[in-house]
């Protein structure tokens, strides 16, 4: 009995089930693809369901999923998708264009389904499936985000029984031992939202080919140190979301590969560019007037030593930031020309401030152009995030060197959200994830989003005009130009000073599993990507070969493997004996003191 | 130490004062009735406070859950309407009272499942972990307290008091991580026998003997951590209340009768010194349900404590209200039990 306890998956034996165990630090909040929001939930849906369009590994551009190809009419108002034949649901029913139209129509109808996915169907008026292999989308005006449709497709024959009212609490979890019906490479056999373990078994008939692993198990660790220990010990094969310091420590372990994958998002220092009451248009809160001036904000960009922030705050695991589009999305990214780019140059920052009228007074403090004091800038950081606090501490120091007083307050992000909405701040540190299409990130900086997601209260009608233009564009090249122009505008107006492009630490047992391709390739993350690619790629080391020709995959033949496996095996062999010995040792530790005390007491009592 | 003892006494004194006005001795039945009604009152008070307390928390669930997902203000409004968060507060309170009294708790905003399901799922790991730890800590702690009081000033006393105090002052997460490094991963000659976290192995089949053993193996380190930390609570209060008894005349009398030292201690001294400890034990049992957040975190045990702390970050009102109610109810019940036992042990408190 004991020999089975805690024994990790052995990936070598052919007759044994190959189990790939992933350690994560957060629970799935819902297996229902219309409800969850955590990245863990997205990962589970990617395993369970298919998408009409998926993301490429290289740069996350749209690529065929259930749709083999697509075309759009010249006016951009009709999109026709050709759907793959021969795909079946895990209960044997065929997956047709009707299922896709059904899923999209549920979202289009509004209700809870539209919360997460509705924005992808902006301007869409109808979705039809004229036959089993065709889906037609009709739009009222062009939508540049299409064909990006990362919406999990659910089976109509199951979901038609779930009413609009019931869907908001429909768990989409295994019932009566029956796995969830999906078409993806794996299916959920055990697990519940908020639970601490989720087990998936492979779909042997998957249309992209049978997965190389039989089971994927996710284990939730509530703190990352024990998760790293579990990886070292071999209880899990993959650890997601670990710190740069842990990555560094794991790199020296035998049999483990650890990386900092670039994650598609940015961290920024945001300013109060002028909060207003969105209903009356009256000014709101008490933001410092100096920060309403784009010139003042832009000058501060030269007072940030981003290299030092990356080195000290991000432990080297990150890249200095410039615009709101991370480098992973190279086709969208605008990079400031060298002579304009932010460099750490306090003299230049000072000169720019002087030029704009914010000159130093007799006490060495900078003043407003009319000579009144600027006062103390109120900086805010999120107390639960150390990077946030550290970044703002550096910023405060550099502001001081420029002759600007500031004070730092740290508070929980919940509370900070209220402060931001009340406009009672001058600057704060936060970050965003950016989707493969920058449209929604760009929209957060428009005037309409003030009081919504715009946390800098930025409003520029020129920017808004460009936003509308790119959103309705039918010409991809022209749209890219517009998007770049918008980034340049944000760079010059500086509602945000983008400080860093963050990374996500991941590590896996490279002595057991191989063939993880990063996304974006190169430099990206290995799991928790867009799509379930690596759950199909991953396989036991013995079967690795050349990873089906994916040369960039980690663990392809020729890459040296660690020697941790043999040690782990011998541990397993003596497991039973070790358990017995260990129990005795610990038991002795607990009662030893008391036992010794008893002995002492009786001898003392006897003497008396 | 004496503070603990004083706290223990004050409960019984407060009880005594509260009912001193009536002057004549009540029957046990009336005493019980009074206590039960009082507890029901506290429970209702807790329900009211719990509701309004959590509404004062900063944060808006629609915003926390919708960051990067809801793109328009309309979507935020729709979410609030769906979960009744747009209703005026008094109306929300009425809904809350109604759902609670019908036993049908609201749905969690984050997990979209009924809160009662979540609580039941999370209750038994907590009961197992904190319950066993409390029982073990009580037994070992009381025993160590007796030993050290009886041997006051001797090496036994110094060692037990010193080591329990040292363990008491250690942060739980630190002790937990230390035990993981030593006994789960293995350091030097120590083999890593125990699992690093979780409640059971991936391949364990529920309902088998192997499953029970597997769970037990997973619980060894977290329970050890909690027991080591809790020990001082019980040993120190037992020690001090026993020390109070040591100078009493009845002990001299007992010795004069020629009783052996062990018998004097067990039959006379310890029995009288148990009252404050009873209070402490009853209260600790009440707090079992509220869980042990740090140890649950370090060992990744999905308990009630974790559920509540994580709900705070949203804030997930239904979950917060549900866990607050359950944990408060447990403390109130344990307190009631303590009062009732006191009434039996010491008839003076009934007056």
Is it the case that residue A523 has pLDDT exceeding 70?
yes
CB contact under 8 A, B144 and A229: no
Give bridge partners of residue A215 from the DSSP assignment. Answer: A19, A201
Q: Which two tokens stand for residue A285?
A: 């809160």
Residue A301 burial class via C-beta count within 10 angstroms: exposed 0-12, middle 13-18, buried 19 and up: buried
Q: Hunting for tokens 């050349």 — which residue is that?
A: A546
Strand pairing report for A238-242 and A19-24: parallel
Distance CA A401, CA A65 (A): 54
Is the pLDDT reported for residue A343 higher than 50? yes
Residue to test with chain A: of B119, B135, B197, B307, most A Cβ within 10 A: B197
- A22-53 as b/e, with b when 16 or more CB fall inside 10 Å? bbbbebbbbbbbbbbbbebbbbbbbbbbbbbb
- Asked whether A508 and A238 are in contact (CB, 8 A), the reply is yes
Nearest residue in chain A measured CA to CA from B143: A594
Q: The tokens of B138 are what?
A: 């009580």
Phi/psi at A134 (5° precision): -135, 135
- A169 has a chain B CB within 8 A of its CB: yes
pLDDT band (50, 70, 90) for residue A397 = very high
Please tell me the predicted confidence (pLDDT) of residue B24: 52
Q: Of residues B150 and A604, which shows the higher confidence score? A: B150
Confidence of residue A428 (pLDDT cuts 50, 70, 90): very high
Average pLDDT over residues A411-423: 83
Nearest to B192 among A233, A418, A593 (CB): A233
Q: Write down the pLDDT at residue A556.
A: 63
Question: Which of A30, A123, A385, A453 best tests the B interface by mutation, with the highest count of B CBs <10 A?
Answer: A453
> Can you give the pLDDT at residue A589?
56
DSSP category for residue B264: I
The mean pLDDT of A301-314, rounded to a whole number, is: 90
Chain B contact set for A443 (CB, 8 A): 71
Task: Give the pLDDT confidence score for residue A264 in this predicted structure.
Answer: 84
Residues A226, B313: C-beta atoms closer than 8 Å: no
Q: Is the peptide bond before A522 cis (omega within 30 degrees of 0)?
A: yes
Decide: residue B52, CB within 10 A, 0-12 exposed, 13-18 middle, 19+ buried.
exposed
Q: What residues contact residue A463 under an 8 Å CB cut-off, 6+ apart?
A: A445, A446, A486, A489, A490, A493
B183:A118 CB<8 A:
no
CB-based contact A30 B112, cutoff 8 Å: yes
Check A222 against B71: CB less than 8 A apart. no
> What is chain B's pLDDT, residue by residue, as a tens digit (351 residues)?
334 444 444 444 444 444 444 445 567 788 888 888 988 998 888 888 888 888 877 777 877 777 666 666 777 777 787 777 888 888 888 888 887 777 666 788 888 888 888 888 888 888 888 889 999 999 999 999 998 988 888 898 999 999 999 988 888 888 988 888 888 877 777 777 888 877 877 667 777 788 888 888 889 999 999 999 888 888 998 999 888 888 888 888 888 888 888 888 888 888 888 878 888 888 888 777 776 788 888 888 888 888 888 888 788 888 888 888 888 888 888 888 888 887 777 777 666
List all residues of chain B from 224 to 253 with a beta carbon under 8 Å from chain A. Answer: 224, 227-228
> Looking at the partner chain, which of A233, A433, A591 has a beta carbon nearest the beta carbon of B196?
A233
pLDDT of A591 strictly over 80 = no
Find the range with the poorest average confidence among A63-72, A90-99, A381-390, B263-272: B263-272
| Site from B113, B222, B238, B297 to mutate, A interface, most A CB atoms within 10 angstroms | B113
Residue A9 pLDDT > 50, yes or no? Answer: no
Examine residue A147 and say whether the peptide bond preceding it is cis (omega within 30 degrees of 0). yes
Kindly list the strands in the beta sheet with A265-271, ordered across the sheet, starting from the edge strand earlier in the chain. Answer: A319-320, A496-501, A265-271, A427-433, A377-382, A406-411
B56, A103 contact by CB (below 8 A): no
With a cut of 70, say whether residue A137 has pLDDT above it. Answer: yes
**pLDDT single digits (tens) A367-379:** 888 888 888 899 9
Residue B269: CB atoms within 10 Å: 23
Its pTM stands at: 0.78
B72: left (phi over 0), alpha (psi -120 to 50) or beta: beta
Q: What is the pLDDT of residue B351?
A: 60
A177 shares contact with chain B (CB less than 8 Å): no
Q: Is A604 part of the contact surface with chain B (CB cutoff 8 Å)?
A: yes
Say whether B59 and A415 touch across the interface (CB within 8 A): yes
The sign one gets for the Cα dihedral A246, A250, A256, A260 is: positive
| Of B70, B110, B228, Cβ closest to residue A115 | B70
Average pLDDT over residues A278-305: 87
Average pLDDT over chain A reads 83
Question: Which residues lie across from B114 on neighbouring strands?
Answer: B107
ipTM: 0.73
Alpha carbon distance B207, B218 (integer Å): 16
| Residues 119-158 in A contacting B (C-alpha not used; CB under 8 Å) | 119
Cβ–Cβ contact B212 with A under 8 A: no
What's the pLDDT tens digit per position in B241-296? 888 888 888 888 888 888 888 888 888 888 888 878 888 888 888 777 776 788 88
Which pLDDT value is given to residue B23?
A: 47
Looking at the DSSP bridge assignments, the partners of residue A506 are A240, A259
pLDDT, one tens digit per residue, over A437-452 is 888 888 888 888 887 7
What confidence score (pLDDT) does residue A579 get?
46
Given a contact cutoff of 8 angstroms between Cβ atoms, the answer to whether A111 and A96 are in contact is no
Give the rounded distance of the alpha carbon of A601 from its chain centre. 61
State the Cα–Cα distance between residues A442 and A450, nearest whole angstrom: 13
Q: Chain A contacts of B210, Cβ < 8 Å?
A: 1, 4-5
Whether A107 and A230 have beta carbons less than 8 Å apart is answered as no
Q: Does A587 touch chain B (CB under 8 A)?
A: no
């Amino acid at each position: 009995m004991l020999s089975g306890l805690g024994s990790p998956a052995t990936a070598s034996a052919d007759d044994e089930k190959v189990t790939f165990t992933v350690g994560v630090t957060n629970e799935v909040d819902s297996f229902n693809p219309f409800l969850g929001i955590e990245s863990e939930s997205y990962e589970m849906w990617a395993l369970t369901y298919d998408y009409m369009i998926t993301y490429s590994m290289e740069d996350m551009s749209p690529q065929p999923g259930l749709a083999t190809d697509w075309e759009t009419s010249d006016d951009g108002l009709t999109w026709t998708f050709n759907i793959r034949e021969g795909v079946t649901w895990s209960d044997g029913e065929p997956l047709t264009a009707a299922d896709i139209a059904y899923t999209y129509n549920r979202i289009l109808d509004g209700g809870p389904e539209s919360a997460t996915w509705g924005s992808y169907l902006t301007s869409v008026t109808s979705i039809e499936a004229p036959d089993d292999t065709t889906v037609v989308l009709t739009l009222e005006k062009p939508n540049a985000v299409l064909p990006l449709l990362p919406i999990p497709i659910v089976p109509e024959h199951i979901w038609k029984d779930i009413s609009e009212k019931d869907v908001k609490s429909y768990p989409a979890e295994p019932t009566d031992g029956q796995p969830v019906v999906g078409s993806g490479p794996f299916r959920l056999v055990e697990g519940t939202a908020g639970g601490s373990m989720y087990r998936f078994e492979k779909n042997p008939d998957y249309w992209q080919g049978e997965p190389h692993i039989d089971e994927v198990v996710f284990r939730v660790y509530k703190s990352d140190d024990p998760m790293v220990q579990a990886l070292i010990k071999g209880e899990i094969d993959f650890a997601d979301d670990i710190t740069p310091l842990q990555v560094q420590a794991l790199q020296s372990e035998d049999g483990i590969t650890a990386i900092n994958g670039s994650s598609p998002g940015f961290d920024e220092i945001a300013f109060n560019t002028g909060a207003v009451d969105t209903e009356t248009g009256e000014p709101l809160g008490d933001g410092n007037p100096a920060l309403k001036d784009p010139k003042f904000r832009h000058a501060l960009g030269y007072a940030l030593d981003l290299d030092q922030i990356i080195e000290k705050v991000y432990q080297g695991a990150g890249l200095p930031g410039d615009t709101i589009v991370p480098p992973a999305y190279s086709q969208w990214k605008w990079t400031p020309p060298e002579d304009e780019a932010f460099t750490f140059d306090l003299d230049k920052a000072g000169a720019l401030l002087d030029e704009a009228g914010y000159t130093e007074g007799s006490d060495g403090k900078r003043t407003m152009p009319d000579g009144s004091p600027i006062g103390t800038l109120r900086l805010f950081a999120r107390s639960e995030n150390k990077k946030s606090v550290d970044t703002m501490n550096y910023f405060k120091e550099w502001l001081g060197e420029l002759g600007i007083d500031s004070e730092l307050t740290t508070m929980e992000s919940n509370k900070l959200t209220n402060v931001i909405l009340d406009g009672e701040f001058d600057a704060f540190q936060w970050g965003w994830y950016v989707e493969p299409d920058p449209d929604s990130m760009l929209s957060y900086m428009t005037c309409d989003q003030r009081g919504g997601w715009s946390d800098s209260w930025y409003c520029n009608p020129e920017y808004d005009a460009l936003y509308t233009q790119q959103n309705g564009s039918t010409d991809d090249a022209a749209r890219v130009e517009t998007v770049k122009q918008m980034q340049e505008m944000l760079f010059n107006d500086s509602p945000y000073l983008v400080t860093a492009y963050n990374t996500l630490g991941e590590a896996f047992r490279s002595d057991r599993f191989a063939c993880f391709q990063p996304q974006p390739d190169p430099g990206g993350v290995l799991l928790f990507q867009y799509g379930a690619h690596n759950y199909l790629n991953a396989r036991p080391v013995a079967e690795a070969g050349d990873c089906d020709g994916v040369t960039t995959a980690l663990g392809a033949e020729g890459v040296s493997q660690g020697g941790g496996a043999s040690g782990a095996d011998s541990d397993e062999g003596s497991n039973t004996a070790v358990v017995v010995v260990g129990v005795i040792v610990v038991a002795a530790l607990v009662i030893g003191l008391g036992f010794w005390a008893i002995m002492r007491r009786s001898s003392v009592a006897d003497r008396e | 130490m004496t503070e603990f003892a004083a706290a223990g006494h004050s409960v019984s004194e407060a009880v005594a004062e509260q009912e001193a006005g009536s002057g004549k001795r009540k029957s046990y039945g009336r005493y019980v009735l009074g206590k039960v009604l009082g507890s029901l009152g506290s429970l209702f008070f807790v329900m009211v406070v719990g509701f309004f307390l959590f509404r004062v928390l900063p944060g808006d669930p629609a915003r926390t859950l919708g960051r990067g997902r809801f793109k328009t203000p309309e979507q935020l409004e729709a979410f609030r309407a769906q979960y009744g968060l747009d209703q005026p507060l008094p109306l929300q309170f009425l809904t809350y009272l109604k759902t609670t009294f019908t036993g049908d708790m609201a749905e969690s905003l984050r997990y979209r499942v009924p809160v009662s399901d979540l609580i039941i799922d999370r209750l038994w790991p907590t009961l197992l972990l904190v319950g066993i730890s409390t029982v073990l800590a009580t037994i070992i702690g009381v025993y160590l307290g007796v030993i050290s009081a009886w041997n006051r000033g001797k090496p036994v006393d110094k060692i037990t008091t010193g080591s329990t105090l040292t363990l008491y002052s250690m942060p739980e997460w630190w002790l937990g991580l230390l035990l993981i490094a030593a006994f789960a991963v293995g350091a030097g000659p120590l083999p890593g026998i125990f699992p690093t976290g979780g409640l059971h192995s991936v391949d364990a089949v529920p309902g088998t003997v192997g499953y029970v053993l597997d769970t037990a193996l997973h619980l060894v380190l977290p329970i050890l951590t909690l027991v080591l930390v809790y020990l001082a609570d019980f040993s120190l209060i037992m020690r001090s209340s026993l020390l109070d008894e040591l100078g009493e005349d009845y002990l001299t009398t007992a010795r004069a009768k020629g009783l052996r030292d062990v018998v004097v201690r067990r039959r006379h001294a310890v029995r009288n010194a148990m009252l404050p400890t009873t209070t402490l034990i009853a209260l600790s049992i009440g707090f079992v349900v509220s869980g042990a957040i740090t140890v649950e975190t370090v060992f990744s045990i999905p308990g009630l404590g974790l559920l509540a702390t994580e709900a705070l970050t949203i804030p997930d009102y239904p979950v917060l209200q549900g866990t607050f109610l359950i944990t408060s109810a447990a403390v109130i019940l344990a307190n009631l039990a303590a009062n009732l036992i006191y009434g039996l042990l010491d008839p003076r408190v009934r007056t």
